[in-house]
Structure 1
Amino acid sequence: MPQLTGIHHVKFPVSDLAASRAWYEQVFGFEVTMEFPDEQGVVRGLAGFAPGLGDVGLALRENPAAAAGIQGFDPVSFGIADKAAAEQWAAHLDTLGIDHSPVIDATIGWILVFHDPDGTEIHLYSFAAHGTDQTGRKGYGRTTTPA
């Protein structure tokens, strides 16, 4: 079987490219390195990088129908170190006036949840585990045995 080598980029559909660009720049430090104009020369997409994502690119594509279709859904979880990092992100979002969840003890680690301007749910999930077995908790994951 051929092997994957990682994630190349993550692309979010947005309804207002300028507003979303400003939001992702403010929240994540998004740095645009490419623009994608349509046939009339109107820029409909942006790509670049955000600190902490390494070589994984971040892209925004103007597509109001797709943005509405994933409203309230979390297509990706961005990794953070631990509970302290989740608390730092919560403070950062507070300074920006962005509503967010409290720091949550998720299935494995800690998570912070908030929404972009189109209502796409953004998860910041810790790589550090909290060590609590959430198996019996409704709505939480449980381990499986490989076949």
Structure 2
Amino acid sequence: MTTRELAGVHHVKIPVTDLARSLGWYRQVFGLRPTVEFRDADGVVRGFVGDVPGLGATTVGFRVNPAAAEGCRGFDPVSFAVHTRDDLEAWASHLDRLGVRHSPVIEASIGWLLVFDDPDGLALHLYTWAEHGIDQSHRPGYGRAITDPDGWQPN
């Protein structure tokens, strides 16, 4: 019998308005290394995929799509993981050196969180695997454990 099991996340695709600007920014902030380019029928490169240190086999793709980029402004489709709060503090210092505005370290639903925007206003999250142990379930917008996942329905 074959199970329907996922093998991980293959790639994350981010819509952008300016490919060169995004390439420079993600290189500087995350150490992105482009590996594959995508040329449209007119020969113009309008997308690429790259490796980011720490993501293993998961790659990050970028595609010029101004409407999607505008629609995603302020949204947080992905949270990149760090191990501990100390790692998050190191990221905050790195962002400070680059002049990238960011939130303070936030006590999120489970762990600690740092939020900042890419050049198109996409909200990027760095979230710790380490848990802080603070019950935030009473706070609006914070997570609360689901006790019956098979029967759960949004209300």
Name the TM-score, length of structure 2 as normaliser.
0.93
Matches within 5 A, 1:1-147: 2-146=4-148, 147=151
Over the aligned positions, Cα root-mean-square deviation in angstroms equals 0.8
Q: How far 1:82 moved relative to its partner? A: 1.1
Q: Distance in 2 between matches of 1:40 and 1:141?
A: 46
DSSP 3-state at the match of 2:76: coil
Unaligned regions of 5+ residues in structure 2, if any? none
Q: Distance in 1 between matches of 2:60 and 2:140?
A: 33
Q: How far 1:49 moved relative to its partner? A: 0.4
Q: Distance in 1 between matches of 2:138 and 2:14?
A: 33
Q: How far 1:138 moved relative to its partner? A: 2.3
> Structure 1: which 4+ aligned runs deviate by more than 6 Å?
none
Question: How many residues are matched?
Answer: 147
Identical columns (%): 57
DSSP 3-state at the match of 1:6: coil
Unaligned regions of 5+ residues in structure 1, if any? none
Render the CA deviation track for 1:63-105: whole Å, top value 9, x for unaligned: 1110000000001000011111111000000000000000000
Name the TM-score, length of structure 1 as normaliser.
0.97
